[in-house]
Amino acid sequence: MKDPDQGSRPGRKAYGSAKSGVGLPLALVLGACAGTPLPPPPAPEPARVEASARGPSNAQLAGAALEGRVERLLRRMTLEEKAGQLAQYSQGVPTGPGTGREGHEEMARAGAVGAFLNVVGARETNRLQRIAVEQSRLQIPLLFGFDVIHGHRTLFPVPLAMASSFNPALVEQAMRLAGAEAAADGVRWVFSPMVDIARDARWGRIVEGSGEDPYLGAALAQAYVRGYQGPSLAEPSAVAASVKHFAAYGAAEAGRDYHAVDLSDVSLRQVYLRPYQAAVEAGAATVMTSFNTLNGVPATANPYLLTDILRKEWGFHGFVVSDWNAIQELVNHGTALSGAAAARQALAAGVEMDMEAHLYGPELPALVRAGKLSEAQVDEAVRRVLRVKFALGLFEKPYADETAVPTEVTPEKRALARRVAEESIVLLKNEGPVLPLGAAVRKVALVGPLADSGVDMMGPWAGRGDAREHVTLRAALERRLKGGLVYAKGTDFLSRSTQGFEEAVRAAASADVVIAALGEEAWSMTGEAASRTSLGLPGNQEQLLAALAATGKPLVVVLFNGHPLTLQGVQARAQAIVEAWYPGIEAGNALANLLWGDVNFSARLPVSLPRSVGQVPLYYNALGTGRPAGAADLTRPPSGTADKYISRYIDEQNTPLYPFGYGLSYTTFGFSAPTLSAKGLKAREVSRQGLEALRVTAEVRNTGPVEGTVVAQLYVRVRGASLAQPVRQLAGFARVRLAPGEAREVVFPLGFHELSFLNSRSERGVEPGTHYDVWVGDSSEAKAHVEFMME
């Protein structure tokens, strides 16, 4: 399969970009579902992530012909039928507290439901759809939604892992396949992507997003949307994306799920809203609200978010759905005294569909008749829901094909999943180097609770994945080593018993190399409702690691986890550390290819890994301080005033153990000092030029012995601005594949969106007299530097 890395074709410059390629042709994706080989993703274009929307954010939801169809149908609807279109109910396995309600067939027949979730499979979706389309008065089709987070049947690595690839084109390709599989299963609406910026490693749902950086998050948000929705929502394999959780859910206080968020408007807009806006500009059809309050106002009843920003500023034409039971939870938040009041608040703020609170259907007609809501408000909500149904082609083709077997996991799908995993697994340490493992390694001891757990390779939110189809590390190594593998589990996740240690130590002592597969149990320790106050290895895994290290054998730790973990103990004992996250269906095969050097590591961290949980929240793009640590030795407690009265801890360093953007390879890379296409810029011209005002060019060279791919990263700092700006911000990246000794220029275009910032009035712009520092390198600690002035 051809490598899609930017600039990988000989004789061409590599252009830094975060925009994914064009959507894959529909026939190719459907062919892959049936067994036809998948094509490589298209070459990414040098373009901006956040080009300003002009006109509707999704043209497919705003045409005159579509509006005519919507209005004609709306005029025929009773108030109860309108309320029904705004109600979503769960059938099957719930994804939140409660078990849903019964009587779904009668509701569909009466036009009292607009959408279902957790109804999956062509036969079952068609059964309910036939009732709605053939037996209801207005024959309005149902919309079926499902949590397709990182795959449907073919599970790819979890989103935090895919973010480690820094490869939006590959993520787009994976999500195009995920959407096609879901559509073939009767699901035309997926509750993804989750684009919440997360700076607190304690938050369990950090695993579902793209990490701590808004630029990377925006690039991947667009990739997900383009992958799911394809070039046209009307294509049978396209699914409507639901961007979640709007907004700032990842900033929950203390990293505790469902907790409150309190942010300045500048932080909200400059950091947290950027990926949502990018997703909307990419054409996302729907948006899901978050559970949290934002500055005291619940997101599910927040007109500033849902009306002022989403609709008026961004021009969003799709519909907004609540998260599970979130409208009823307005009573718990204290802003509503009853379910009826909660329904009124949510609809008035801009929530068009009620997921599983069971309030819109019974309450909205009564609220209108009592004069507490206008029917015009209800009509506008119904318009938005109907637009999406018309755009998806549900009125023309409401049924899924029951005769096909499109969700079979074919070899071609596995090949794509393996490739995504290979580009998502990060090499953190390689002392010796111990890796890659070569022919001299004849016997390997594999130890740990995650060495042979297919269900944990799936990660949280596993869609319709089957753990039995997931290749574990043990299974892959048994095939590769042909009798040269000895396995011992050693311990369980939360065990305090050392009963299995003796067997594990014997296995290690008999082997040439020890591989310890350690980490978190996917479903109980990561994802929703899985916040942690400690971020070390759970249970007695650290003790097991110490016992293995005491054998003196080379020790490779492979981590499977959803939280960024504190790895001081692992760092001290292991010669090599591999951050695998949860790699999906081809986990074991991808890891074996990387450990033996059949494939080179290329992934980079999308989050900072803390030394201690006391550093959290920890992120590279923080604001500066008037008393920076500077050259102080932070490895020691302060000994005098020179190193005491500065911004520091007295018992830990300020820096992360591993920084954002970091990752090792089996080769090394060097960067030249960057150069600029102009010595300076005029603020007025930057605003006019829009997409590109300046080019930053640097040469990157493979200085090591083997071919490899480097993620070249560009960072910017603005000084002298009217409002303090972060010490660094990612403003471009490019995957560049190089042969040994090969050099190539990487070019980063900078324009208004990379150079602008918010002032104290939340106005975005550039300011004369500001100074820009620019760095290019392979992590957020890049050293190669150039600077210029904005006149």
3-state SS assignment for residue 649: coil
Per-residue confidence band for 407, with pLDDT thresholds at 50, 70 and 90:
confident
Say if residue 763's pLDDT is above 70.
Answer: yes
First to last CA, the chain: 47
Nearest to 168 by CA among 495, 420, 392, 388: 420
Considering the domain boundaries, does residue 389 fall inside one? no
Any domain includes 583:
no
Place of tokens 């993620």: 711
- Residue 57: the pLDDT is 58
pLDDT digits (tens, 9 = 90+) for 112-136: 999 999 999 999 999 999 999 999 9
Average pLDDT for 751-755 = 93
CA–CA distances in Å: residue 336 to residues 83, 139, 294: 20, 35, 16
Q: What is the pLDDT of residues 682-692, one digit of tens each?
A: 999 898 666 78
Containing structural domain, residue 743: 667-790
Domain count, the chain: 1
Quickly tell me which residue has 């299974």 as its tokens: 475
Is 13 a residue whose pLDDT tops 70?
A: no
Angle subtended by helix axes 541-549 and 501-509, to nearest 10: 30
How remote is the C-alpha of 229 from its chain's centroid? 16
The predicted structure's pLDDT at residue 78: 98
Report the alpha-carbon distance of residue 140 to residue 144 in Å, rounded: 13
CB 21 within 8 A of CB 47: no
Tell me the per-residue pLDDT of 500-518, one tens digit each, with 9 for 90 and over: 999 999 999 999 999 999 9
323 catalytic residue (yes or no):
yes
Residue 764 lies in a domain: yes
Q: Categorize the per-residue pLDDT at 271 as very low, low, confident or very high, splitting at 50, 70 and 90.
A: very high
Note whether residue 313 is domain-resident.
no
User: Would you put residue 788 in left (φ > 0), alpha (ψ -120 to 50) or beta?
Assistant: beta
3-state DSSP of 725-774 = CECCEEEEEEEEEECCCCEEEEEEEECHHHHCEECCCCCEECCCCEEEEE
Report the side by side order of strands in the sheet with 485-488. Answer: 426-430, 576-579, 555-560, 513-519, 444-447, 485-488
Q: Which two tokens stand for residue 669?
A: 């890379």
Flag whether 712 is in a domain.
yes
Tokens of 644: 């005491």
Predicted pLDDT at 26: 42
The pLDDT tens digits for 378-400 are: 999 999 999 999 999 999 999 99
Q: Return the pLDDT at 2.
A: 37
In a domain, 575, yes or no: no
Measured CA distances, 19 to 172, 273, 362, 375, 641 (Å): 10, 18, 44, 41, 48
Residue 98 confidence (pLDDT): 56
pLDDT in tens, 22-37: 334 444 444 444 443 4
Residue 525, in any domain of the structure: no
Q: Is residue 269 part of a domain?
A: no
Active-site hit among 5, 213, 323, 456: 323
Residues present in the chain in total: 791
Helix 214-229, helix 168-184: angle, nearest 10 = 40
- The per-residue pLDDT for 93 is 65
Q: What percent of the chain has pLDDT over 70?
A: 91
pLDDT number for residue 691 = 75
The domain that contains 690 carries what CATH number?
A: 2.60.40.10
669 φ, ψ to 5°? Answer: -135, 150
Specify the pLDDT at position 408: 87
Average of pLDDT values for 538-553? 98
